[in-house]
Each structure stands twice: as C-alpha cells, then as structure tokens.
Copies of this chain bind each other. A is one copy, B any other.
Amino acid sequence: MKKHHLRIPGPTEVPERVLRAMQSPMINHRGDEFRSLFRRVSENIKKVFQTKNDVLIFPSAGTGAMEAAIANLFSPGDLIVSFSCGVFGDRFADIAEAFGARVERISVEWGKPVACDIVKERILRDAKGEIKGVLFTHNETSTGVLNDIRALREAMGDHPALVVVDAISSLGAVELKADEWQIDAVVAGSQKALMLPPGLGFVSVSEKAWKAAEQSKMPKYYWDFKKARKTLEKGETPYTPAVSQIFALDEALNLILEEGLENIIARHRLLAAALREGLKHLGFRLFAEDSWASPTVTAVDITDFQGKINFSKALKDRFNITVAGGQEKLKGKIMRIGHVGYVDELDILNVLSALEMVLGEEELFGKGVKAAEKVFKKGEEE
C-alpha cells in the first residue's frame, strides 16, 4: 500500500475541501443560485489576477484560453512577436500563426529566460509601430524557467503593442500584477496553482485589450469575449458552464483567500528553494540556474544517469510518486518535479527521501533532506 503523490507540474493534487465542493448537487445554470455563485467567483478570481478588469472563465484547457486571447485581440495579418524559451512559448506562437497572424518568433536557448535586452532591441527597431502584439510565457513549464514579466514589460516602454502573457503554470503561485505591470491579457488554467482539476481556462482583459477586441477580425464563436462579458453582467456564461468546476473554484478561492496570496507566493518560493538545495546535495545538476528558476516546477538534469536509473519509473514503483519527464528535445534528459498548488514542506522532504532511496547509496541517505530542512529552518526564522 502506497499513497499516491502527484508531483507533476499540473494537474496538481486537489484539496479535500475542493473535492467535496465538486460533489455539490447539480444546479440550473440559468438560475439565481448559479448566478450568485458565478458572480462571486468572477469577483474573487480578480484578486488572484491582481486586476480590476474582467476575468473571463471558459470551460476549456489552458491552451483554449491561449487561443481565446489570440482570436479576440488580433486580426489576420497582424504582426505578433513571440518570445519563447520552451515548448509552451512555441505553442503560443503556433496558435497565433494558425489564426493568420504574421508571427515573428524570437527564441532563446532552453533552460534560459527571455532577456530584457532582446525585447528592448526588437521594440526599438519598430519605429513604424507595426507590432500589434507581444507574447510572453511567465513560467515555462517545459524547462522550469521563470521569465521576469515585470522587467520584460518595462523593457517595452510605451510601445502600443498588446502584451499577452501565458501565466498558466504561475498565476496564483508567483507574483503577477496584471494591472500594475500593464499586462493586457493574462491567461491561466485551473489545474495548477488554483488547485482545481483541469477544465477551466481564464483570461483577464485590460481596457486596451477590450478596445482591440472591438476591432479584431479573427474568426471566433465559442471564445467570443464580447459575448462572455455581456452574459457575465447577468452572472451567466454564453454557453453551458462547467458547473461542478465552478463549485470547486469557489472553494479553491476560499482556500486561497484564507491563506493569503502573499503567503502562497512565499510558500512556493521556499518550497522551490528547499527542493533545489536538497537536489544539489544529492549530486543532481539542475537544468535552470537559481536566479531564474521556477517556483512551481524544478527541472533536473538526468543525462548522467541515462541507462542507469529511470527516475520516473523508480519513484512511481517504489513510492507511488509521479514526476514528469522532459518534452520534445528534452525527452530523457530531464525529469520535472512539480511543486505547485496544494503542496507543503513535507511533500518536498518526501520527494527528497524517495530520491535518496532510489539513488540507493547509503552515504546519500538523509543528505538531501538535511539540506532542505536547513532551508525551511531559515525560511521559518525570516
């Protein structure tokens, strides 16, 4: 008998309170009970986005919400510059291209973040103001890299392009101030820091983005922001909402507001720091440097162990801990340990103990745990 520990970067574990909320009896999605519920979650979710603007909620995967942002804010032929440092940055560019935008892809080496300089350089070259949109990934889940969105946005100065940020694997776990940092659309999903099962997509829409939405000529029906805003005024959705997920969102937002967004952000930072310190003491090389490492997912270089230890399989078989592998060109080269959402200190110590035993060398036993405990002790004292 081994309890299941889900240490992938999403879907993440769902708190018991949220699971219970999902068992609420089904209600009429065009009735008062739903309207009051939907109004409440639509207000509360704004606190997580740190915005006063509308946040639209769709029954969809995170990728659907990315598509919604593109389809509503741009027109075919628009020049969109995509800054990518991994699989999910590339995906954002693919979506824009599929909808007929003229996409200019600026990619950086995987494992590194997007540098402010290259953003500044590209923006300065746009004397005619041709660029209509800029796409960033906040947290690149495929490489465990966090982009400094605040600095990247500042690097753009007062260029009029819309700034669209994929914050699917960061929002609610990492600082992201949609309004203060002037992000026109922030995209999020339910299955990461929001601690819900997958199935809800979120997009915040700035005033500037609403103006762009008026002009947008990309084809859309399901994702139509204007219809979503119009029905939201009545506390409803254009098409059938995912009712049980909305019950769950309501309870997850209660949990988030009870703990406090600042505390949650600090928790994720501490968990990541302790895990990284523990991993280093076990001799692992980390794929991303400390200064831009993700607070929600840690990519571990496993090339030294190829043909010797299959970590994913060993952690699963021996301890029922599920971690993620590498994607695309990183397949077999990294393992990714998720620590986003419903995760605490003991979860981190667990994964380190389990790795110590999977490595199997007695001189490593307790070594990663010790290093992590020191980080937690320091965190507690601060």
A residues touching B (Cβ–Cβ < 8 Å)?
Answer: 1-3, 5, 23, 255, 259, 264, 267, 318-321, 342, 344-347, 349-350, 353-354, 356-357, 360, 362, 365-371, 373-374, 376-377, 380
Chain B residues positioned under 8 Å from A374 (CB to CB):
362, 365
Chain B residues positioned under 8 Å from A255 (CB to CB):
1
**Contact of B342 with A360 in the complex, beta carbons under 8 Å:** no
Chain B residues positioned under 8 Å from A1 (CB to CB):
255, 259, 264, 267, 342, 344
Instruction: State the main secondary structure of chain A at its contact with B.
Output: helix
Beta-carbon nearest neighbor of A354 in chain B = B346
Beta-carbon nearest neighbor of A264 in chain B = B1
**Contact of A377 with B350 in the complex, beta carbons under 8 Å:** no
- A373 and B366 contact, Cβ closer than 8 Å, known pairs A349-B349, A349-B350: yes
**Contact of A377 with B349 in the complex, beta carbons under 8 Å:** no
State the CA gap A380–B360 with chains docked (Å).
11
**Contact of B377 with A370 in the complex, beta carbons under 8 Å:** no
Q: How many copies does the complex hold?
A: 2
Report the 3 A-B pairs with minimum CB-CB distance, sorted nearest first: A366-B370, A366-B366, A365-B370
Chain B residues positioned under 8 Å from A347 (CB to CB):
3
Chain B residues positioned under 8 Å from A264 (CB to CB):
1
Beta-carbon nearest neighbor of A13 in chain B = B3
**Contact of B345 with A373 in the complex, beta carbons under 8 Å:** no
Chain B residues positioned under 8 Å from A356 (CB to CB):
369, 373
Chain B residues positioned under 8 Å from A267 (CB to CB):
1
Beta-carbon nearest neighbor of A258 in chain B = B1
Please pick, from B318, B353, B362, B371, the residue contacting A353 in the complex, using a CB distance under 8 A: B353
Which of A2, A255, A357, A377 lies at the interface centre, i.e. has the most chain B CB atoms within 10 A of its CB?
A: A357
Please pick, from B320, B342, B345, B366, the residue contacting A367 in the complex, using a CB distance under 8 A: B366
- A373 and B346 contact, Cβ closer than 8 Å, known pairs A1-B264, A259-B1, A366-B366: no
**Contact of B377 with A369 in the complex, beta carbons under 8 Å:** no
- A344 and B259 contact, Cβ closer than 8 Å, known pairs A353-B349, A362-B377, A365-B373: no
Known pairs A1-B344, A357-B373, A366-B369; list 19 more (Cβ under 8 Å). A1-B255, A2-B345, A2-B346, A3-B346, A319-B344, A321-B346, A346-B354, A349-B350, A350-B350, A353-B353, A353-B373, A356-B369, A357-B377, A365-B370, A365-B374, A365-B377, A366-B368, A366-B370, A366-B371
